[in-house]
Each structure stands twice: as C-alpha cells, then as structure tokens.
Amino acid sequence: MVAKLDYRWHLRMVMAERGMFQTTDLIVPLAQRGITLSSSQVYRLVVERPERLSLKVLMALLDILQCAMDELIEPVAAAGEMTSRRKAAGAEAGVGDLRPKRARIHDAGRP
C-alpha cells in the first residue's frame, strides 16, 4: 500500500491576513524580486491551486508575505488515502529467481 498525498493552497488566506485583498497586490512585490507575472497569472496563482510552481516564485511569496512554507502549503492525505500498487507479471518471485541461467557450452565432438 502506498499513501497518496495531496495539498491545500492557502495563498489567498495568507494574503488576507496580511491586508492584501486584491490579487494585483502581488505584481509589484514580485517584480521587485525579479519575477514578472501578468495580472492573469497572478490571479491564477492566488485563486487556483497550482500544479507546478517555480521555487523562485515560492521563495518570493514567502519573503513578500513573511511566512513559512507550511502556512502556504498544507499537506493532506488524498481522498483515496491508501492505494495498492499493481505488481508486474512475475514480480512475486524473488530477485534470485529472475536471474538468467548461465549458458552451458557442450562440445559436439566429445562423447
């Protein structure tokens, strides 16, 4: 069984706690840290849960909001929580059983 993990994105809540109520409030502070995002990109970053996020953007957000990573990203167990992994055909056998046997050379001229 393998645990499936998911996460919750709390950027909007952290911004609100810091008095930042508009998504565009992040554009200038991000630009000051060398990150240029359009207003629609910042909106998606704040309103939606990002599937991919640059570490530079994440570090800039932590710096701008003066918060820790666990305030922005909360790890949670996925809805299915535990799933079983499928085994490949023959995976039940031990590694030793899967190794090829050494070839034997038989001398055709010998009795």
Q: What is the pTM of this model?
A: 0.67
Provide the residue type at 9 as one letter: W
pLDDT in tens, the chain (111 residues): 677 889 999 999 999 999 999 999 999 999 999 999 999 999 999 999 999 999 999 999 999 999 999 999 999 988 765 544 555 554 555 555 566 667 778 777 666
CB-CB contact of 60 with 30 (8 Å)? yes
d(CA 9, CA 46): 9
Torsion, Cα of 24, 50, 36, 42 (10° steps): -10
Domain 2-83 annotated CATH 1.10.260: yes
**Beta strands 2-9 and 73-83, pairing class:** antiparallel
